[in-house]
A and B are shown apart, each in its own frame.
Chain A
Amino acid sequence: MKLVAEKRELSSRLFRISAPVISIFVALFVAGFLLLAAGVNPLQAYLEIFQESLGSIYGLSETLVKTTPLIFASLGVSLAFRMQIWNIGAEGQIYMGACGATAVALFSGIESHLLMITAMFLTAFLVGGLWAGVAGALRAVWRVNEVIVTLLMNYIAILGVDYLIYGPWKDPKGFNFPLTAQFSDAARLTEYFDTRLHSGFFLALFCALVLYLFMERTVWGYEIKVIGSNPKAARYAGMRTGLAIFAVLFLSGAIAGIAGFSEVAGLQHRLQHGISPGYGYTAIIIAWLAKRSALGVVIVSFLMGVLLVGGDSLQLSWQLPVAFAYAFQGLILFFLLASEFFIHNRVRLIRGERHA
């Protein structure tokens, strides 16, 4: 007896839509056992996740605050995915973007709010872009695998930022904590409704719209889609694939870099250790789940935001470790991947041997 998986004809639309939904419920179900093991009533916990993240103005605003960097980073990652380029380095690009924006905020001495914010934005964009562009250039010229390069450069970026905030950029009045001085008011994004929700969120939505138009309506988006679908055909049609690889990785990193800008200018108002608790990695999951759509990125980022905020509250009220939130994310991804497999394959049990 053995199990075999066979490719199948595209399954029914109903199944394709219901499979991911079912898989999220299965993930909730399995995570329930983890909660039980930790001595927590799962139903109560799930109820709390939703209440805390969506049930009040404050909760909702916190969710949107977490959603903001996720949208930026995932847009960046998914742009590269469209061309079959795997940018695993959004995390590092966030740090570099934050670092660039901070440099402007601390040292430029610009006083006008608008000018300051614009300069910070552009610097973050450029620095994040160049950081990823290194991988792009290596890939375009010498065919160095971009997965490895972007991944390894994360460590350099994170440690580099640590060096700055433990060393030269450390706030002299900061009681020796690893953080820079606070930004001046000119370098802070507007906040709304007495919450931490800042204009970075709306910038993220706008960015999603721009990226959608870029992919679906412009000649460059067309080019990216052709290269992603068949690089050989693209080269044959006279498209410069090397240049496109560099450009797309640059843009991908630049958008992730904006996440760093939005975090320091909108939320933390300084550069400090651990400004991103892994948004760049979560972004890979989000980009994958959202398939190819910018709208999908926004929706999935929001769902992840709910999980993050809900997870935080579980930590507080039941003293669950942070690891639980990650385990939960992992389970969801696992079951969604599984559902993808079942959509494309049929699994059967075969008795006995077919061939003598």
Chain B
Amino acid sequence: MSYLKPLFSHPKLPKNKLGYTLKEYEGSLSTLCAGCGHDSISAAIVRACFELSIEPHLVAKISGIGCSSKTPTYFLGNSHGFNSVHGRMPSVATGANMANKELVYFGVSGDGDSASIGMGQFVHVIRRNLNIVYVVMNNGCYGLTKGQDSATADRGSKNKSGSVNPFEAIDLASMAIELGASFVAQSFSGDKQQLIPLLKAAIQHPGFAFINVISPCVTFNNNPGSTKSYDYVREHIEATSALDFVPVKKEIRVNYAEGASAEVGLHDGSKIHLNKLSMDWDPEDRISVVNALQNAKVKEEILTGLLYVNTDWKDLSRTLNITDSPLNRLKESDLCPGTEELQHINEGFR
């Protein structure tokens, strides 16, 4: 068993604008099961950050507990990280975000971590529109504790031991839209072509960006009868759109399948190009999105791609009017306004 990654890399590995190669965005060698979908998501995050030329030291990865929550060790090894308590990632991420809004935040969670023990925190962080990329690596089970059904396991889905799940599944994407998430997407760990541009758009989105990624657990939930297996997902996947993320000022048009095309602008000037595959759906209209999701459910399809985006809502730091400069850079003169100003403030309360 190898514990270390070889130090050598391809001598012709491309470099990004910062002069870094993918290597500078990788983490240590994964200890997850071979073939775990979570590893592919890690690789997609590595690539998205590399392609956006994000400074690794300006990223913070916050996670809960689970195989999914372990992944921050396996990507962005040069970034900040906090492996918090089961289901409590959102509060730690909120605190960090309020203290320093200059960083790119990844909230990394699992279906157990977010839809069971962490449900309370999950719904509130959405309501508040925290500026974070919130990734749920959704395998329909508690992988780390040996594969018990999770709250996102579909009713009727069979697990490895043969028992059939009798409960209705929580649909995290619908729920996020309902609760007012400003960016909601769904994807599949086995489809990097879709996942990478989604991640790039989510990183650039100023507010809560939720991506529910179906990510097969090869060890406990990849059996026939499971609705989160590689085979099942590949057979039932349906994309809303073929999309490409276009960073600021760089107009690249990708050729995708024919169909109507839409363009969503982000405030920093970047754009998301969408070539619609599914009709009667408009990513800026919540009702059409909820309809599309419900229709897909009836047809036993897994709808993937960018589902909903709204760039007008204020994120938490703007709502609370948090200082732009990180707390660790505030000097005494910023924090202590002086006697005169203090008196002035006190006057206001009399």
Do A and B belong to a common assembly?
A: no
A interface vs B, CB < 8 Å?
none
B interface vs A, CB < 8 Å?
none
